Amino acid sequence: MFSKYYFFSIVFFLYSCAPQSNEAIKVVNIFCKTSGQNIIENNKNFINKSDDNFFKSYEKINDKKFSNANFIVQSDEKRRGGYSLNLNKIVGSKIYFFETTPPERTATIAVMNYPYCEIELNIIPKNLEVIIEKK
Amino acid sequence: MLLKDIIKITSLKKKSHFILFPILLILSACGGGGGGGGGGGSSARSVAACTDTGTAFQTDEYHALGNTVVGRGLSKICASNAYARGYTGSGIKVGIVDTGITIAAHQEFDGSGKRNYDAGSDLVTPDSIPEDGHGHGTHVAGIIGADKDNTGMHGVAYDASLYHYRVFNNGGITTTERLVNGIQKAIDNGGLSIINHSWGTSGSCTSQSSCETGVGSSVYAKIVAAAQANIIQVFAAGNDGTSSPSYEANSVAYDSRLQGVTLAVAAVGTDGVIASYSNKCGTAASYCLAAPGSFIYSAYISGTTSYELLSGTSMAAPLVSGSLAILKQQFSSLTNTQLVTRLLESATNTGIYSDTSIYGYGLLNLGQATTPMGVLQTFSGSDNLDSGSASYIDLSSTSFISSASFSNALKKSLNGKKFEVYDSFDQANFKVELSDLIGSKSNVSEFNATSHFNRLKPKDKSEIYLSPFGQTEATYVNGQLESNLFTSYNNFLAIGYNQDTNSFLKNEKTNLLANDKIFSKNYFNNPYFYDEGGSNLFMSINNNQSGLDTFMNANSNDLGFAMKFNSGEKSNEDGLTSNLEFSFGVAAENKKFLNSSNSGAFATEDFSNTNFLGLKYNKTVKDLNFVSSMYLGQTFINEKENSYLSSSKPIYTSSLTAGVIKDNFYDPSQKIGFVISQPQKVEKGEINLKVPTSSNRDRNVTFVTHNVDLKPDARQVNLDLIFEKNITEMENLKLGLTHVQNADHSTESKNQNFISVYWQKYF
């Protein structure tokens, strides 16, 4: 019995001292734009600071708006202007973006581009998911 | 053969001699003719890839636009060739309907004329400062006209003036209203030659109405209005990878109102092949070409030194717009429609670029567009390039090889002066240095070491035809006829072929000077009988104190005749003899004057005449023999219709010679002679060269008349010393010294000195 008591105590102690994995993800800074270059390679749509290639991607952003970005999200290649990527909502470890598509028969600039968001998050959970919804 | 001919001529009767001169005249009159203009180019267009040759302009900044890779970007279209010719888009206004221009003090736009805003040119946040919040407009502007300043990159037309109209928002999208107002602003500017449209609406159309529907009728109307305002519009073909351009770019295929001043531009990748994203020229192939569009490095909005690599037909279109700005600057004689046609026709269309469904006319080739596509031609006969009375002559057929008597003055007068010639393809105007067409004959070309040495050799006595009529002076010397012709006293008839015409100095004493053709031609012959090269014919009919010389240069059909009056050789018992000859006559030069060669646009009509007076005097006092010769001429140029060359006043020329020969110089075996002379020189005279110097887009040509004073700035003087010693009857030594001052009557000529020694021994 004693051992059971101690076991649960130790578990409770350890749990209480562990990082708060269920802490809400908050966006500290965000700036969304389009890039002329493919910022994130290998067909991924996001990259965070824990990734070895993060800074390589970050350096491709020409128009950096803040210095503490730790998270980048990017849409796939667009063949004309009028597309944009915007943060929609955060649900648990899932971050939802919506991609705006230009209306049919609208004049747009004729440049290849990649909508992206440069983001500073308060935390970067390991099980982070990015969902880009098209509007 | 020679003997046969001699016999033949010998058999002539006395009265037959007077028939010969008319025969010569008739023979000469049979020559001439000529002419015919050139022109016309090949019907099948085949333009190979250009070679980027303007090495002085191929800087790091130049290659930067192509992502620093040589062979991409500006070097792919050979822009440096245009720069090397002096064309950079200066003075040409280009409108850019886009996302605006960075308002940061970007180093690529701090040159003059790069940030021009019309009132209300920001249609997104209505004001007059079209601040770019996207970067696309700044990038496009950089491709067209970023400064050439040894930093970053530079645009294709780096001296063009840029006008910005912000129609697209920071997301790269716009509204109908903004487009309508933006294009109208560009039209209202009134000075734009070109509008770049690096945008479009996705979708394909197959008729004017479907294109108009796709574009939207109000925007379409503005595009048409811009075309009708004679503004060249360049549209990106679009990036949908389709077989034809998007709506706006494809409209030109179906609307004649757009055709001629509207272009669609597809993009090629870094490998030069159509980019995977680019729409192909397809149905707009007749109004379409391709240009580099992938990984184009240009200015951006992130800071004053920011740049970005962008890809798309958005990047290809401004390369075409900038190229048109260069063409517009270079060719003032071409209308906007002609500029567009030239750009299309000059595109590389060999190899893969021959597929018109993909590349339309081919790959942009600024190197070719800025060089003649047909043959260059001179223009005269009208003041309008399209006039039916206009006369075009191939430049290669035009030259003016001037006589040494005025070449120095002509060259100096025309130095640095340019005139216009025109491409037979479209009459695009090119500048040519007048002096490039002016060549010079020389009085001293014969004064090289070999010819100076040859002067001491015995003269060639071959091909002499002589009719021993009366008391001829002609004699056989060593089995050959002595070549003394044109002797002005004693009865004789002589005919010469390719022969020295001087025989005034015929006596033994003066043979020292007169025994070689070059020497006597230069100093004692009639200087207006230009017997250089070819088949020259001479005839001389003489009695005791008068005579008639005739001359015909069979090559150029020159004619000449001179009446001579001679005092006769006087002599007294003291060994003093004297001889005075006075002559006058006329030399008629066929299609030239004063031995200049004029052709093409500088041509002169048949027979420009020179009236001349000649005086020769020869006096012998014992061992001394004094000789002198002087000729004065008055030349009238026979002007040819539509020639650039005219003359309202006669040209006066002179030539002078004086010398002394001493026999028995130290001993009877030695002779020495000294001569001072001045070759033919213009003393007074001028010509007018009326040449086209500019042309405008109404195709009107302005001519400027250059009044050229032909009098040289110096007088050439030759000093000759000749020494001869007959060592034995079989051995002979000659020495020649010559000093030439102000050669070809030019102060800029270096003095020349020659020394030759000739030793001859018979075995």
pTM, rounded to two decimals: 0.82
* Band (B762; pLDDT cuts 50, 70, 90): confident
Query: Looking at A2-16, A80-94, B612-626, which range is the least confident one?
Result: A2-16
B375 Ramachandran zone, left/alpha/beta (phi>0; psi -120 to 50): beta
Please report residues of A whose CB lies closer than 8 A to that of B246: 110
**pLDDT at residue B441 is higher than 90:** no
- What is the pLDDT at residue B545? 75
* Band (B467; pLDDT cuts 50, 70, 90): very low
Q: Is A28 on the interface with B (CB under 8 A)?
A: no
**pLDDT at residue B651 is higher than 90:** yes
Q: Is A112 on the interface with B (CB under 8 A)?
A: yes
On whether the CB atoms of residues B414 and B427 are closer than 8 A, the answer is no
Contacts across the A-B interface (CB distance below 8 Å)? 115
Highest-pLDDT range among B485-494, B564-573, B657-666:
B657-666
Enumerate the β-bridge partners of residue B661.
B625, B673
Residue of B751, B528, B738, B543 whose CA lies nearest to B635: B528
For an interface test with B, give the residue of A109, A113, A118 to mutate (most B CBs within 10 A). A109
Out of A62, A105, A112, name the one closest to residue B239 (CB): A112
pLDDT in tens, B523-537: 667 888 886 665 667
Is B248's CB within 8 Å of A107's CB? yes
* Band (B37; pLDDT cuts 50, 70, 90): very low
DSSP states of B348-382: B-SGGGG-HHHHTT-B--HHHHTS-SS-EEEEESS
For an interface test with A, give the residue of B165, B173, B204 to mutate (most A CBs within 10 A). B173
Residue B424 CA to residue B556 CA, distance in Å, equals 30
Amino acid at B625: N
On whether the CB atoms of residues B234 and B245 are closer than 8 A, the answer is no
Average the pLDDT over B581-602 and give the result.
Answer: 91
Assigned superfamily of B55-369 = Peptidase S8/S53 domain (3.40.50.200)
Average the pLDDT over B165-180 and give the result.
Answer: 97
- What is the pLDDT at residue B543? 72
- Active-site residue among B198, B314, B488, B695? B314
How far lies A76's CA from each of A57, A83, B29, B297, in Å?
15, 11, 85, 22
Is B315's CB within 8 Å of A111's CB? yes
Q: Is A108 on the interface with B (CB under 8 A)?
A: yes
Out of B173, B238, B241, name the one closest to residue A82 (CB): B173
B71 Ramachandran zone, left/alpha/beta (phi>0; psi -120 to 50): left
Please report residues of A whose CB lies closer than 8 A to that of B134: 34, 81, 109
HEC string of B531-546?
CCCCCEEEEEEECCCE
Domain with CATH 3.40.50.200 in chain B: 55-369
- What is the pLDDT at residue B273? 98
**Higher pLDDT among residues B439 and B351, named by residue:** B351
For an interface test with A, give the residue of B96, B97, B201, B297 to mutate (most A CBs within 10 A). B201
pLDDT in tens, B264-315: 999 999 999 999 999 999 999 999 999 999 999 999 999 999 999 999 999 9
Specify the 3-state DSSP secondary structure of B510: helix
- What is the pLDDT at residue B266? 98
* B549-575 as b/e: b if 16+ CB within 10 A: bbbbbbebbbbbbbebebeeeeeeeee
Gap between the terminal Cα atoms of chain B: 29
Helix axes B176-189, B217-228, angle to 10 degrees: 10
**pLDDT at residue B503 is higher than 90:** no
Gap between the terminal Cα atoms of chain A: 59
